[in-house]
Structure 1
Amino acid sequence: MKQKLIYILLLFVSIISYGQVNLSLEPDKAEYNGREIVNLTISLELNGGDLLQQTKFQLPDLSQFNLIGSGSVTNSFMDPVTNTVITEKITRLALEPKKKGKIKIGSVLVTVSNKIYKTEPFEIIVKDVIKKTPAQNTALNEVYLNMEIEDREIYQDQPTIAVLKVYSRNIDNLRKVRSIQLPQQENINVHPVHFRKSEIDPSDMGGNMASQVVAVFMVFPNEAGYVEVPAVSASVNTLAHKNKILSNKVKLNVKKLPEGSPESFKNAVGNFKVDVYCETKEKAEIEKPIHVVVKVSGEGNITDMKLPGIEASPDYEFFTPKITSKVYPGKAGMKGEIFANYIVVPKKRGEIVIKTEDFSFFDPEQKEYIDVPAEKLSIHAFSHEQVLESRTTVEKVNEYTNNFLETVNTPVLKTTSFKVKEKNKFNWNVLFVNIAILLSLVITYLVFRNWQKKRSLVKKTVSPNSLGSVAETEKEIKATLKTDITDYFNYLKNLKENNEHAKFFETVEELDSEVRNQYFQSSSKDFNQFLENYKGSHIAEEYRNLVQKIQMEKYTPVKSEEGIDELFNTIVNLYSRISK
């Protein structure tokens, strides 16, 4: 009988643990100052694969608040202990209180597997607000920053893209956001991608607010576990005040790198390649420095990883390198090249092998460690006597002459200016360049003479015309400067179809310069003011948006055919109207 009771009790406990539902509603704090934003977090946890959410969250009466924004995220994973599926759904509400004092927030209802669950009601306190000028309140309370990170589960030292958006009911407030400060923290490395503002979306947040992307940056967490990305700050500038606003914080689930890493692995995550070469073209000589470069190229956390160096050897001596880089944002991290310029001094005569340290990296796509073989550079070092013996007679005479001119300097003539520059061989390129210059001068002279003859004939046969008015003269000059932009359109279409994106954007810049020259405007800023005065504010606004769109598409890491097609159609439409 006792065994049956224990069996029934265990069965009952297992059923409860298998089908458990947890629903909660929590504010970020209990007391708020005036019109401070109230953040409510609704969490629903379903422990069991058979549990089904049948209805959405039924919110309580929120008539005493203004809904600023909302967002939801759903995560599902397998619990290895209980071997059950756990589903988490989190919804966040941003509310603006309409009154002060105690405000009661009711229960949230949801139906799961034909059963209704609800949260417990609670109260929050809204205190008196310090009175400020209306302009300051409007700018501060109607502009909000939101940091969005789509990929929140990454490996240690693997990048993830963060997008910073600004929201406001008034579109004019979006232009007041300045001085964006990216987060700084010891357990993350942050690198900006760009701070270009996107086009304004007038109907974001369910049509209640306008939004605009103001910054994109990469986050590299350098430790495993749950890492919280701090808030991004910015300033809202008005005529009388400068206010500071903060974005939300985002928590990342940083996975620890797999075990079994090789000894040569430090913290490189991505895909990399190592090269070593010598920049010195002269013969290596004992006790004379030479320049050896170790180049690391690839994509990943290249700006934050530990670079492989040169292995120590009794055959040579080296010093701390000078680090230079050519890095830009890529699709899977920072992409480019890092150069470590070493000064190496050979210590023995003969063959010397300069070897790099062992290096390995973790590839997140293949999820494995990859060893990079050590690179070797062979150099033959000569003694000073061997270097002197290998020189030709002309080189020896040049050296003796230079030594004399360096050491003997008369007060009448500065002889050091007569130093003979050594040349190993005849430079045929200089000869060819000089011949080409001479031929071009002759051709130019002949063309000029022919043009003068034709001009003198025209002066004799054609009678002088009236100079006309200033307006007529300006019209004639514009007609001569006017370019047939349809040629540009046809050329841009061919470049677009052949996916020659770099040449496409170069041609767009040439087209813009040609059109501006038609109206005697040297810069885009002056041209935009010209359009606003003579073509209307609508054309000027379209031109400003097009310039921003061209810059965004030009520096986008991955270019889509739809985006290029849309950009091409916009260019043809706008420049056709401007150039009329």
Structure 2
Amino acid sequence: MKNSGKFFLFFCLFAGYSSSYADEVTFHLTRNQVEQFEDLVLEARVGGDKEFKPAGNSFEKNGAKAVYIGHGSETQIVNFKISRSQILKFKISTNQIGKFITPQIQVIYDGQKYSSPDFDYIVEKGSGNQRTARPRDFFDHFFEDPFREEEPEAKTEVAFHTSKPRVYLGEPVVGYYVLYYNGLRQAYLERDPNQSISFPFFLSETLKQVTVQIDPFAVRKGIEKQTLVYEKEIYGLTPLKTGTFSLGSTKFLVGDSMRFGAIHKSLDVSPARIEVLPLPQGAPNNFKAAVGEYEIFLSKSDKKVHLGETFYFAVQIKGSGNGDGIEDPIRLTNSSVHLVSKSKNKTFKLLPNGEYGFYSELEFFYGIEPEEKGNLNLGTAQLVYFSPASHSYKTISQDLGNLKVLPKRSIPVEKKESAQGDGSAFLRKIYSHWFPLAGLLTLVVVTFGTVLYFRKRNLIKETLAALDEKIGTKRKEILEDYLIRKGISLDESKLISALKDSFPKEGFLEIYSYCNAEDKKALIKIGNQIK
């Protein structure tokens, strides 16, 4: 008998494939017991792309007849290995009651002939609810008595399962629903829309692009039944409280999609019991409830910076777990380093230990502006977490090394023409000689206005050129962080960052020409403020 607790997970990713399984032809009989006039299906399957076809359209043996009914294919990715199967289907029909052996079916793959083994199956007398003894035709699959009851030993059941029966507080598990049934040609399973679902004391999230694959048959209360996983709702569950809990209670609509007019029953779910263990005593003082298996990585960069400039670097924490409880890893070792931004990415994948679960990647982006030249120690990145695998607390750390602080950059000062000086000299000359003529007074007014105009334009050019020089290649979070520390407001910092993103190749003088009056004023204000 097959163990219903064993399960496998695989991602439904649609991509180009390459066969990862050997080209081996296998045969499978869908059932081994039917009622009189019911049909069986025998499948021939091969994992390969070469030509696959039946050697004939029908085969007979001792009152059993096999008829070729169609060809299909199936693509799966299991443990990141892609396989494609070709499937040939044959309908097995028998009108008599008793024990039978399937006809020997022959198929051809890549020019080589393969024969099916003997499959034993039993044909029983039909139930009392069957109205006719005539052979069943195509329409009998649909127009049956919708009120026909299942046999007592074939009662349908829906159960909720978790990937682990016992976990630690904060350790995530996978939860999913399974239908156990017999006697349904095409099982229908859908959650009752009138019933809600909740997981008290658990943080739940629906997993996307994830499928749970279990054995096609499982033993429930001593009876072997077929299985069907409800793939629309597969949950990632993180316990928030210790104790023993019953999860997954709700109702499902179950029926047979191949029976015309069949009534879908609303069945209560058999919930799963899970025990949540408390974390052991003796947690370190800086433990923040991180649970999993993690590592620390440093961004590779040239650890040099000039005095008066900001040095940026990143610390990454990656590993198995949902990433909760992981805070600034260098906050306690170097207070002069400030956190610019934090990002987190969580996926559901095959973990290094061979199981499926959550894998988290966190990045902490930092900046530091040295106050004196020389070598500056950046401190240590440290993380304390609880390891479910070793049942203990672990502390990992990574030395960030030294930062070499170089002397302040020497910026060449260009000689700038001063319209103000020329204008002032000209005005002094005018005022030293009084001309009472009104025409000359008009000339003075026009000249003074021209001088002011060119003076203002040159001041704008100087301010925007200085702004270009200060900002340099800084972008996005780095640029916003730099401006905020220079006293620029958050809104104005975001404005500058957005303008540089919109015009990445243009300088601020050209960007200035594209702006409206309000943004032009903001640019000049910011340029003057960080000079």
Scaled to the shorter chain, the TM-score interval is 0.3 to 0.5
**TM-score, length basis structure 1:** 0.36
Structure exhibiting the larger radius of gyration computed from Cα positions = 2
Q: Which has the higher helix share?
A: 1
Q: Which has the higher strand share?
A: 2
Query: Relative contact order, CA 8 A, sep 6+: which one is greater?
Result: 2
